[in-house]
Amino acid sequence: MQRRRILVTGGAGFLGSHLCERLVARGDDVLCVDNFYTGTKDNIAHLLGTPRFELIRHDVTFPLYVEVDEIYNLACPASPIHYQYDPVQTTKTSVHGAINMLGLAKRTGARILQASTSEVYGDPTVHPQTEDYRGNVNPIGPRACYDEGKRCAETLFFDYYRQHQVRIRVARIFNTYGPRMHPNDGRVVSNFIVQALSGKPITIYGDGRQTRSFCYVDDLVDGLIRLMDADDAVTGPLNLGNPGEFTIRELAEKVLAMVGSTSGMVQLPLPEDDPLQRRPDIGKAEKLLGWGPTVPLDQGLARTIDYFRTLKSQPAIGAGG
List the catalytic residues. 146
Residue among 119, 37, 121, 35 nearest 77 (CA): 37
User: Phi and psi (nearest 5°) for 317?
Assistant: -115, 120
Buried b (16+ CB within 10 A) or exposed e, 154-173: bebbbebbeeeebbbbbbbb
Burial of 184 (0-12, 13-18, 19+ CB in 10 A): middle
Residue 212 beta carbon to ligand NAD: minimum distance, rounded to whole angstroms = 9
Cβ distance to ligand NAD smaller for residue 76 or 259 = 76
Please identify which residue in 210, 213, 242, 261 interacts with ligand UDP, judged by CB under 6 A.
210
By CB under 6 A, is residue 35 in contact with ligand NAD? yes
Tell whether residue 100 is a contact of ligand NAD (CB under 6 A).
no
Size, binding site for ligand UDP by CB under 6 A: 15
Closest to ligand NAD by CB, 23 vs 60, is 60
Name the segment binding ligand NAD (CB under 6 A); options: 101-109, 135-143, 170-178, 275-283.
170-178
Question: Could you give the CA distance from residue 136 to residue 133 in angstroms, rounded to a whole number?
Answer: 9
Is 218 a binding residue for ligand NAD by CB under 6 A? The answer is no
**Quick one: which segment of 46-54, 56-64, 204-212, 286-294 binds ligand UDP (CB under 6 A)?**
204-212
220 part of the interface to ligand UDP, by CB under 6 A = no
In the complex, what is the shortest distance from the CB of residue 286 to ligand NAD, in angstroms, rounded to a whole number? 19
Nearest distance in Å: CB 308, ligand UDP: 14
Q: Is 39 in the site for ligand NAD (CB under 6 A)?
A: yes
Q: Answer yes or no whether residue 125 interacts with ligand NAD by CB under 6 A.
A: no
10 Å CB burial of residue 178 (0-12, 13-18, 19+) is: buried
- Three-state helix/strand/coil letters over 170-204: EEEECCEECCCCCCCCCCHHHHHHHHHHCCCCEEE
How far is residue 161's CA from residue 293's CA, in Å, rounded to a whole number?
29
The reply to whether 112 sits near ligand NAD by the rule CB under 6 A is: no
